[in-house]
Structure 1
Amino acid sequence: MQAQRHIVDIMAPPAKPRRFVFVLLDRFTMLSFASALESLRIANRMAGFDLYTWSLVGEGGDTVSCSAGTAFKLDSALPELTRDDTVMICGGIDVQQATSKPLLNWVRREARKGLKMAGLCTAGYTLARAGLLDGKKATIHWENQDSFSEEFQEVELTKSVFVIDGNRMTTAGGTSSIDLMLKIIADDHGEELANAVADQLIYSSIRTDQDTQRLSVPTRIGVRHPKLSQVIQMMEANIEEPISPSLLAKQVGMSTRQLERLFRRYLNRSPKRYYMELRLQKARNLLMQTDMSVINVALACGFASPSHFSKCYRSHYDTTPYRERGSHAARLSI
């Protein structure tokens, strides 16, 4: 409370609170949305007056469900906005389906007014589909990076937790919304208020746009072996044109046999098998998140022929790429 009094003492109410318009897409991620909204609420509480206001909108203007199934009542359908408003589009599961033509038309129309727009979690896809990220830096949840980079080659995709490029903002999802909002609060009203909000959120490590969204390779695989980590990083960076195990081994200064032993010891599989799993994982993401043909998916993941791709995919996932896509489409239509 002492910190709150101190902040109130040095702040004056704004002439007009800044308004945020949260556009909730079908099956949006609640954590990403709540992280942003709570940051604004706490900023108001710490200041002692309204620095920010907000409204919840969406297609239809009635209710919308998040990815956990909870329904949220909307304040209105997609409204007419002013240049001073800030739009926060909240995405989640199957953002491609949630990004409808009416939504895109509204986004483009309001963007022409020059207002600021953000895509939280997977909603960077929505901004990109609207053409609002062309020639700009952006980020999106790591699970959607493969499909995004294939579809929007004119966007400079990064692995940052959030990106601000002009009047366009994108986040990687989850708690990265907090980092973006703390940046906005600091720019609007100073670092002291932003730090006070972080303290209230028990958020002890504020990230910047220089921080990456995924855990380091050693943390992810649970193994802290520098050469193993280096090889895996090379594999992840070279999916479309796979590097041979012998060349990978040479790059880190060991023999092919030593590399084999290293993978067997720590990951219980051969380098070739591990690499194949990475490629198939990317292929599954592309099948589920894009309308790329199976042939193009195969090529993007380093397979020379559709038949070899299908054989490897079936061996790993116990279904064919065609059936995988068909079953996914059927689930979306339910």
Structure 2
Amino acid sequence: MSEARMLPPNQRQIVEIDTVPDKPKRFVFVLLQDFTLLSFSAALDCLRLANRMSNKTLYEWKVIGEGGETVSCSSGLAFQLDDDLVELHRDDVLVVCGGANVQVATTKPLLNWLRREARRGIPVGGLCTAAYVLARAGLLDGKRATIHWENQDSFIEDFDDVSLTKSVFTLDGNRMTTAGGTASIDLFLRLIARDHGDELATSVADQQIYSAIRTDQDTQRLSVPTRIGVRHPKLSQVIQMMEANIEEPISPALLAQEVGMSTRQLERLFRRYLNRSPKRYYMELRLQKARNLLMQTDMSVINVALACGFASPSHFSKCYRSHYETTPYRERGAQSSGRET
């Protein structure tokens, strides 16, 4: 899809739709407790604006959730639900909206309901962390999917049968997933373009002041130079190698050799731009992954240690405590207590 074009100020463009379906397509949003408001509202507003810009009711929507009463987003705002987890129409599109504490929100009644609706052939999507819910229900087996980058490590450990990508969104058959945040806009603009053409999707993007529409080929994280605030090709290359080799860390000497530097030159490079040694920076990457796994999975502490390149639980515990001022076992215990409340 091309970059959205600019419209004159205060000018509303009505996009003529040649063919309009007999009835509007209905999206049913399932809001999980602590869902991410931005992911949900961005998707919903795309549908609203598609109706406005076409001057026709192309889309309708309904908001449901377990219990059918109210649900709160991660920022604490409460939302009134339209209904409980009821049987949907065959031509509905089901979209689960996840967010923080998605494991807690993934209940047995929800999983059973999702499996039942999916067996009826209804397209199913997941926004933000909801790919976890779809995977737990077995709806992503053999499929391509994406999830927020913070949850990718734990997702890979939990779901071997899903081909996880780093894209902002994925479409694979009648399954769709997003990485969260504004990725909902990119996915729903793609859906609108597929249903009613690029011109309408572009008009919706213009209304949102969304000037660069991303595709499923765009990755969700910023580039290494942007993240670290340094544009040095060899430094970026080394960090990319570190991030790709967490379970079996590469020695500083080999990292330096890979980019045509001496170990001493690599040391000076990291000290100059990141104020730490390559070894320290690498350790922090490994510990960050370890913390994600402890917080988001039920992996044992020893398996987390091994997945992050530590040869022994004692060494892992010592490094973890030095960096986070708590032990992996206490971190896991605190997280477990949080899930029970």
**1:286 is aligned to 2:293:** yes
Question: Which of 26, 32, 39 matches 1:25?
Answer: 32
Q: Which residue of 2 aligns with 1:179?
A: 186
CA deviations on 1:271-325 (whole Å, 9 max, x unpaired) are 0000000000000000000000001000000001111100100000000001001
Q: Which residue of 1 aligns with 2:3?
A: none
Q: Which residue of 2 aligns with 1:149?
A: 156
Structure 2 distance, partners of 1:222, 1:69, is 33
Question: Which of 78, 82, 91 matches 1:71?
Answer: 78
- Tell me by how many angstroms 1:2 deviates: 6.0
Structure 2 distance, partners of 1:36, 1:243, is 42
CA deviations on 1:241-283 (whole Å, 9 max, x unpaired) are 0000000000000000000000000000000000000000000
- Tell me by how many angstroms 1:81 deviates: 1.1
Q: Which residue of 1 aligns with 2:257?
A: 250
What stretches of structure 2 of length at least 5 have no aligned partner? 1-9
**1:4 is aligned to 2:13:** yes
Structure 2 distance, partners of 1:4, 1:76, is 35
For 1:115, the aligned partner's letter is I
Structure 2 distance, partners of 1:201, 1:231, is 38
Structure 2 distance, partners of 1:170, 1:12, is 28
- Tell me by how many angstroms 1:13 deviates: 3.7
Question: Which of 123, 138, 142 matches 2:130?
Answer: 123
For 1:4, the aligned partner's letter is Q
Structure 1 distance, partners of 2:88, 2:27, is 10
What stretches of structure 1 of length at least 5 have no aligned partner? none
CA deviations on 1:118-147 (whole Å, 9 max, x unpaired) are 010000000000011111110000000000
Q: Which residue of 2 aligns with 1:91?
A: 98
Q: Which residue of 2 aligns with 1:311?
A: 318
Q: Which residue of 2 aligns with 1:190?
A: 197
How many residues get paired?
332
SS across alignment from 2:13? helix
Q: Which residue of 1 aligns with 2:146?
A: 139
For 1:293, the aligned partner's letter is S
After TM superposition, the score normalised by the length of structure 1 is 0.98
CA deviations on 1:202-256 (whole Å, 9 max, x unpaired) are 0000000000000000000000000000000000000000000000000000000
Structure 2 distance, partners of 1:61, 1:2, is 40
SS across alignment from 1:207? coil
Question: Which of 16, 21, 25 matches 1:14?
Answer: 21
Structure 1 distance, partners of 2:132, 2:46, is 24
SS across alignment from 2:60? strand
- Tell me by how many angstroms 1:171 deviates: 0.2
Aligned ranges for residues 215-254 of structure 1 at < 5 Å?
215-254=222-261
SS across alignment from 2:299? coil
Question: Which of 50, 59, 80 matches 1:52?
Answer: 59
Question: Which of 203, 221, 226 matches 1:214?
Answer: 221
Structure 2 distance, partners of 1:308, 1:183, is 48
- Tell me by how many angstroms 1:12 deviates: 4.6
For 2:292, the aligned partner's letter is N
CA contact (8 A) 1:162 1:170 kept: yes
